[in-house]
């Protein structure tokens, strides 16, 4: 039976976690490799279908599984359901790194001796989030043609698979996922908001365990592919929910738990500067995407789509200016303005790194609302595309000729507003908590609230004005 | 490990092989099979700049059905065979539309796009070469403008222009009988209206009429030699095929006019690239005969961007269109 | 802190939020009678509607003429059930009474190329009241998050826990 564990922290406050792996059925399903592999194979099948139909099927974006199943179905499921409620669970079944990983391990299930590959450690210089920040921005700049043309989507996915294979054969473990994947940086940041976590039950048990098989591996499983040390794991950012540590720990000390949403966002801890920057780049990107794709200016959209042209260069410069300079600069100003309210000396850098996690709920809400709006408009493409995946005139499900039916109306508009405002409220609460922790109080929180309000205003203007 | 007992790892690998092979194999076989099918020909439709109809040449035999699978690769296109009375097919992007054509006579048939898909929409044409059967003996008939010796590329300024818009209704109410040589349809289509006006002006039967009233007679001559049905057909043909360039009100200012002018390589007199003709301008229209107009439509504009409609429109349709064009000069304005 | 005092912020903010959302019938936006006739010619090209935003008052009789300039485009307005299709040279027209205030998305309903899903405009009937109400609610959200939902920790310097 699952017991709601109520351990008390050093300060005596209550934390509520539900340990799902206390349920024998849940634990055995997660430890067994079969169920996970089954889901992974389904994901691989989906990826192959998407690549094949993207390369061979119709070039019409609204009728090809490559564009519809990836950017409408999968993206919406990811941003609206998977990440907010299950954290990095998708990473545990994502098909992109799997071919490389299987080659690297030389096995699909339990370890069977050495696989292929050099197993080199990832270069120290390239660790951290800067590479992923850059990868995300670059992909974002080229995204409009990729989103709308099946062939380009297929080539992007095939390219990522090939890069992942190459990286897996040169470097150790899941270096691609941890340090390169553009989606991964995104998911990792927002996974902090989710109510699901993988943690050790009692760190003292880990301290006494000398072989640390959760990191080094054993006959039962591989050492953490995400290069994380489970005993000291306190945040969802880098844990890819691959469940290896659940299998390798001989002391049954690893648990999958439900916890309050946003528990990884701690008002008392500053984050590293690269993580703070990621948080700012992502919220800036959400705003720019919303304005470009859903806003009233078709000239802006045309510029974003005409990759390589002079107008696109202007758009790219503007995009970079806003996401890399303007939004972070504004946030730095906002967090610096209230510094005098603190009772101790606070550097601008520390202020930025303390307040940056507060943007996670609002940023996640921005992406979720943006995705929901887009998906409601285009969800009616999914059944026709499944009915005629390669554009040969099939009618497998009888839905090939279903007309486009956008879902919208007042209810949809208010749903988007509700999501954004929920994120805003939650972020505002965290901002207050950080300000109080820094002894700056409401006066310190005000400018940061102002920043959040500006971002919210921009989003609302695009969604419902 | 004996042959009888497969480890779970091997089962897993078999499952992976099934997935990794079955999906791409199934897709590739289906795709390859569709392209190799001898029963039906798959035709992809793209805007002319991206290739037009692919393939654009088909072969068929008299009497044997030609199965076609048509699919648009970009925007809405349409499919129809020229000079036939079958309804055109709309091709929504990405959706396969099937049809079967059967030919009674050998020859070369032109198929074309029926929904505007850009400035080069009219270039989206292909041919079906039909062999077999016994060809019907058809006498070769010169187009009327050739037998009349009209140079359809020459400028045709009107020698006279009305001050007031002529009205066929007023012309009819005058109750004047047309002189010999102006009564039949062939009389009307051979002569430009300005020339008709000059001749009528000099004739004794119009002595008491004003210049405008003689113009009304010219308008009436047009109206009385054509039918309501022909004008309606002409109107619908104009809307579907001509209005995009020539404008819904015939002023040469259609939505696509700018793109056409920009793309036209040859220039007429002066340095301006030719733009779609303005049917509302009396100084040029009234100097052209119906035969000239019909000839222009039939043969096209020799590189000016004006398509040639000979393989597409039947003779009756061509004349209905030419008749309709006069409504921009003589028609009742609402 | 008495129970009433603890609940007061929640109640006050909730009441305020309800009032804001319910502010449908602002005086300026309910002019049902006396609407004027408005004719708008919308030119559709890949991938834009010109004008992108159509602003009318509630009660106006709106006539929209869709004129396409390059390929076949459609014009769809949800909420008013408007669905037009036009080829270049063959404009299509629809007429309706704008009796429902709000902002409605205009979308192209005929695939016209890669950027087709993003070809959109807006029909604004009356002032954008949803936007202003949402902005007011945003202020309430900040107040709720930053004041009402935030709880002082039991002991000073303690790690703050979610409520």
pLDDT of residue B274: 76
| pLDDT tens-place string over residues B224-244 | 999 999 999 999 999 999 999
Task: Tell me the average pLDDT across A317-346.
Answer: 92
A115: Cβ contacts below 8 Å, ≥ 6 apart: A103, A104, A105, A106, A107
Question: What residues in chain B have their Cβ under 8 A from chain C's Cβ atoms?
Answer: 47, 74-76, 92-94, 115-119, 239-240, 242-245, 247-248, 254-256, 259
Q: Which residue of C has its CA nearest to A436?
A: C152
> Which residues of chain C have a CB within 8 Å of the CB of A268?
159-160
The ipTM is 0.89
> Which residues of chain A have a CB within 8 Å of the CB of B72?
60
With CA atoms as reference, report the closest residue to A402 among A371, A426, A370, A380.
Answer: A380
DSSP characters over A11-23? T--B--EEEGGGS
Query: In terms of DSSP bridges, do strands B40-45 and B66-72 run parallel, antiparallel, or are they unpaired?
Result: parallel
Say which of A52, A60, A393 has its CB closest to residue B69.
A393
Question: Does B48 score more than 50 pLDDT?
Answer: yes
Q: Which residue of A has its CA nearest to C148?
A: A429
Within 49-68 of C, beta carbons closer than 8 Å to B belong to 67-68
What is the distance between the alpha carbons of residues B141 and B147, in angstroms, rounded to a whole number?
9
Contact C113 B74 (CB under 8 A): yes
CATH superfamily of B40-131: Cupredoxins -  blue copper proteins (2.60.40.420)
Question: Does A3 score more than 50 pLDDT?
Answer: no
Question: Does A171 score more than 90 pLDDT?
Answer: yes
Task: Tell me the average pLDDT across A319-348.
Answer: 91
What is the distance between the alpha carbons of residues B36 and A312, in angstroms, rounded to a whole number?
41
Within 108-127 of C, beta carbons closer than 8 Å to B belong to 110-113
Q: Which residue of B has its CA nearest to C85?
A: B76
Distances (CA, A) of A437 to A339, A342, B9: 13, 9, 53
Answer CATH for C31-126 from 3.40.50.300, 3.40.1000.10, 2.60.40.420, 3.40.50.970: 2.60.40.420
Q: Residue B129's CB: how many other CB atoms inside 10 A? A: 12
Say which of B47, B93, B243 has its CB closest to residue C90.
B243
Contact A413 C130 (CB under 8 A): yes
Among A9-13, A373-377, C33-37, the range of highest mean pLDDT: A373-377
Question: Does C30 score more than 50 pLDDT?
Answer: no
Within 3-42 of C, beta carbons closer than 8 Å to B belong to none
The angle, 0 to 180 degrees and rounded to 10, between the axes of the packed helices A348-355 and A327-337 is 110
pLDDT of residue B266: 55
A97: Cβ contacts below 8 Å, ≥ 6 apart: A164, A168, A174, A176, A177, A181
Higher-pLDDT residue of B50 and C79 is B50
| pLDDT tens-place string over residues B58-99 | 999 999 999 999 999 999 999 999 998 889 999 999 999 999
CATH superfamily of B144-330: Cytochrome c-like domain (1.10.760.10)
| pLDDT tens-place string over residues B187-233 | 999 999 999 999 999 998 888 899 999 999 999 999 999 999 999 99
Q: Identify the residue among C50, C69, C88 best suited for mutation to test binding to B, counting B beta carbons within 10 A and taking the highest.
A: C88
Task: Tell me the average pLDDT across A179-204.
Answer: 93
The strand pairing partners of B58, in sequence order, are B128
Within 45-104 of C, beta carbons closer than 8 Å to A belong to 47-49, 52-53, 76, 78-79, 102-103
Within 10-39 of C, beta carbons closer than 8 Å to A belong to none
Say which of C76, C111, C131 has its CB closest to residue A465.
C131
With CA atoms as reference, report the closest residue to A328 among A301, A355, A302.
Answer: A355
Instruction: Note whether A148 contacts B: Cβ–Cβ < 8 A.
Output: no
pLDDT of residue A115: 83
Task: Tell me the average pLDDT across B159-177.
Answer: 92
pLDDT of residue A8: 43
What is the distance between the alpha carbons of residues B182 and A379, in angstroms, rounded to a whole number?
66
Contact A11 C159 (CB under 8 A): yes
Do B269 and B128 contact (CB within 8 A), yes or no? no
B4: Cβ contacts below 8 Å, ≥ 6 apart: none
Do C159 and A265 contact (CB within 8 A), yes or no? no
With CA atoms as reference, report the closest residue to B70 among B82, B79, B61.
Answer: B79
What is the distance between the alpha carbons of residues B330 and B323, in angstroms, rounded to a whole number?
11
Question: Does C29 score more than 60 pLDDT?
Answer: no
Contact C134 A421 (CB under 8 A): yes
Question: Does A458 score more than 50 pLDDT?
Answer: yes
Of the listed ranges A288-297, B258-267, C19-28, the least confidently predicted one is C19-28
Contact B93 A60 (CB under 8 A): yes
A7: Cβ contacts below 8 Å, ≥ 6 apart: A15, A17
Annotated domain spans of chain B: 40-131, 144-330
Contact C71 B118 (CB under 8 A): yes
Say which of C114, C117, C154 has its CB closest to residue A378.
C117
Q: Which residue of C has its CA nearest to A8?
A: C161
pLDDT of residue C156: 53
Contact A433 C118 (CB under 8 A): no
| pLDDT tens-place string over residues B268-326 | 555 666 789 999 999 999 999 999 999 999 999 877 788 999 999 999 999 999 999 99
Residue B93: helix, strand or coil by DSSP?
Answer: strand
pLDDT cut 90: percent of chain A above it? 83
Task: Tell me the average pLDDT across A109-136.
Answer: 89
CA distance C18 to chain B (A): 46
Contact A44 B19 (CB under 8 A): yes
Contact B116 C71 (CB under 8 A): yes
> Which residues of chain A have a CB within 8 Å of the CB of B24?
48, 52
> Which residues of chain C have a CB within 8 Å of the CB of A263?
162
pLDDT of residue C41: 96
Higher-pLDDT residue of C2 and A90 is A90
Q: Which residue of C has its CA nearest to A443?
A: C146
Distances (CA, A) of A145 to A51, A379, C59: 16, 20, 41
DSSP type of residue B303: T
Instruction: Note whether C159 contacts A: Cβ–Cβ < 8 A.
Output: yes
Q: Which residue of A has its CA nearest to C130?
A: A464
The pair of three-digit structure tokens given for residue A443, joined into one six-digit string:
């006066």
> Which residues of chain A have a CB within 8 Å of the CB of B27?
49, 52-53, 56, 389-390
pLDDT of residue A11: 34
> Which residues of chain A have a CB within 8 Å of the CB of C105?
377, 406, 408
pLDDT of residue A288: 95
| pLDDT tens-place string over residues A205-258 | 999 999 999 999 999 999 999 999 999 999 999 999 999 999 999 999 999 999
Contact B73 A60 (CB under 8 A): yes
pLDDT of residue C35: 82
With CA atoms as reference, report the closest residue to B159 among B42, B269, B5, B283.
Answer: B283
pLDDT of residue C1: 58
pLDDT cut 90: percent of chain B above it? 66
pLDDT of residue C22: 76
pLDDT of residue B287: 94
Say which of B93, B94, B255 has its CB closest to residue C68.
B255
Say which of A41, A44, A58 has its CB closest to residue B71.
A58
Question: Does A77 score more than 60 pLDDT?
Answer: yes
What is the distance between the alpha carbons of residues B151 and A106, in angstroms, rounded to a whole number?
81
Residue C77: helix, strand or coil by DSSP?
Answer: strand
Contact B256 C88 (CB under 8 A): yes
> Which residues of chain A have a CB within 8 Å of the CB of C141?
421-422, 424-425, 428
pLDDT of residue A10: 39
Contact C90 B240 (CB under 8 A): yes
pLDDT of residue C32: 53
Annotated domain spans of chain C: 3-25+133-148, 31-126
What is the distance between the alpha carbons of residues B186 and B199, in angstroms, rounded to a whole number?
16
């Amino acid at each position: 039976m699952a017991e709601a564990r109520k351990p008390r922290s050093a300060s005596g406050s209550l934390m509520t976690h539900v340990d799902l792996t206390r349920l024998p059925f849940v634990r055995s399903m997660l430890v067994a490799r079969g169920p996970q592999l089954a889901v992974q194979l389904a994901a691989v099948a989906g990826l192959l279908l998407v690549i094949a139909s993207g390369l061979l099927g119709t070039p019409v974006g609204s009728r090809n599984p490559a564009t519809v199943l990836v950017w409408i179905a999968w993206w919406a499921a990811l941003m609206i359901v998977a990440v907010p409620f299950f954290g990095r669970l998708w990473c545990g079944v994502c098909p992109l790194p799997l071919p490389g990983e299987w080659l690297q391990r030389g096995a699909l299930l339990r370890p069977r001796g050495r696989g292929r590959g050099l197993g080199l450690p990832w270069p120290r210089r390239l660790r951290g989030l800067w590479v992923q920040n850059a990868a995300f921005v670059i992909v974002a700049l080229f995204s409009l043609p990729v989103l709308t043309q099946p062939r380009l989507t297929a080539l992007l996915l095939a390219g990522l698979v090939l890069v992942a294979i190459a990286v897996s054969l040169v470097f150790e473990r899941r270096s691609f996922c941890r340090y390169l994947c553009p989606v991964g940086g995104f998911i990792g940041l927002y996974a902090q908001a989710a109510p699901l976590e993988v943690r050790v039950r009692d760190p003292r048990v880990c301290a006494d365990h000398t072989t640390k098989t959760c990191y080094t591996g054993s006959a039962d499983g591989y050492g953490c592919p995400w290069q994380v040390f489970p005993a000291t794991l306190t945040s969802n950012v880098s844990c890819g929910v691959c469940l290896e540590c659940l299998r390798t720990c001989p002391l049954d000390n690893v648990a999958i738990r439900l916890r309050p949403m946003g528990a990884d966002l701690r008002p008392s801890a500053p984050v590293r500067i690269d993580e703070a920057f990621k948080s700012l780049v992502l919220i800036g990107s959400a705003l720019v995407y919303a304005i470009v794709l859903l806003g009233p200016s078709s000239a802006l959209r045309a510029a974003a789509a005409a990759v390589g042209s002079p107008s696109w260069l202007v758009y790219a410069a503007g995009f970079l200016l806003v996401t890399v300079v303007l939004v972070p600069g504004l946030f730095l100003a906002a967090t610096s303005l209230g510094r005098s309210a603190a009772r101790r000396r606070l550097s601008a850098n520390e202020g930025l790194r303390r307040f940056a996690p507060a943007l996670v709920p609002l940023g996640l809400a921005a992406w979720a609302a943006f995705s929901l709006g887009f998906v409601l408009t285009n969800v009616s493409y999914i059944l026709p595309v499944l009915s005629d995946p390669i554009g040969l005139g099939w009618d497998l499900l009888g839905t090939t000729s279903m007309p486009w039916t956008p879902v919208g109306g007042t209810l949809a508009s208010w749903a988007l507003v509700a999501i954004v405002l929920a994120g805003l409220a939650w972020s505002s609460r965290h901002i207050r908590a950080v300000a109080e922790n820094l002894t700056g109080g409401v006066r310190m929180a005000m400018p940061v609230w102002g920043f959040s309000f500006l971002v919210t205003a921009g989003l609302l203007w695009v969604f419902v004005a | 490990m004996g042959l009888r007992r497969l480890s779970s790892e091997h089962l897993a690998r078999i499952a992976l092989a099934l997935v990794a092979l079955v999906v791409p194999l199934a897709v590739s076989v289906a795709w390859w099979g569709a392209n190799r099918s001898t029963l039906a020909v798959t035709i992809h439709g793209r805007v002319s700049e991206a290739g037009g109809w692919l393939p654009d040449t088909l072969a068929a035999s008299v009497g044997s059905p030609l199965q076609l699978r048509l699919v648009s690769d970009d925007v809405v296109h349409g499919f129809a065979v020229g000079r036939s009375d079958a309804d055109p097919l709309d091709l929504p992007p990405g959706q396969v539309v099937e049809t079967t054509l059967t030919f009674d006579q050998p020859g070369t048939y032109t198929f074309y796009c029926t929904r505007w898909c850009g400035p080069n929409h009219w270039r989206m044409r292909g041919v079906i070469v039909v062999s077999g059967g016994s060809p019907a003996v058809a006498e070769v008939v010169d187009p009327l403008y050739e037998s009349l010796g009209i140079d359809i590329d020459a400028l045709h300024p009107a020698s006279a222009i009305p001050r007031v818009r002529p009205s066929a209704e007023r012309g009819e109410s005058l109750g004047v009988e047309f002189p010999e040589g102006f009564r039949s349809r062939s009389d009307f289509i051979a002569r430009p209206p300005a020339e008709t006006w000059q001749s009528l002006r000099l004739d004794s039967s119009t002595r008491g009429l004003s210049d405008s009233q003689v113009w009304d007679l010219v308008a009436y001559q047009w109206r009385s030699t054509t039918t309501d049905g022909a004008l309606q057909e002409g109107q619908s043909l104009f809307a579907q095929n001509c209005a995009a360039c020539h404008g819904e009100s015939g002023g040469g200012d259609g939505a696509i006019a700018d793109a056409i002018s920009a793309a036209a390589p040859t220039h007429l007199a002066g340095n301006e690239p030719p733009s779609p003709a303005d049917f509302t301008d009396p100084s040029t229209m009234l100097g052209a005969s119906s035969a000239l107009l019909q000839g222009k439509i039939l043969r096209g504009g020799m590189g000016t961007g004006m398509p040639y409609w000979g393989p597409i429109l039947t003779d009756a349709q061509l004349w209905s269109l030419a008749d309709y064009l006069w409504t921009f000069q003589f028609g009742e304005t609402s | 802190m008495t129970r009433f005092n603890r609940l007061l912020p929640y109640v006050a903010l909730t009441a305020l939020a309800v009032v804001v959302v319910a502010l449908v019938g602002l005086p300026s936006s309910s002019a049902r009678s006396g609407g004027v006739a408005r004719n708008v010619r919308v030119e559709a090209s890949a991938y834009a509607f010109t004008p992108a935003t159509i602003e009318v008052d509630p009660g106006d009789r709106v006539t929209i003429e869709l004129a396409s300039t390059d390929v076949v485009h459609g014009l769809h307005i949800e909420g008013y059930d408007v669905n037009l299709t036009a080829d270049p040279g063959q404009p299509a027209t629809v007429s309706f009474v704008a009796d429902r205030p709000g902002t409605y998305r205009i979308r192209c309903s005929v695939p016209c190329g890669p950027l087709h899903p993003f070809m959109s405009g807006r029909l604004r009937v009356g002032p954008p009241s949803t936007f202003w109400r949402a902005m007011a609610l945003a202020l309430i959200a900040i107040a709720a998050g930053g004041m009402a939902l935030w709880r002082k920790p039991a002991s000073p310097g303690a790690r703050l826990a979610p409520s």
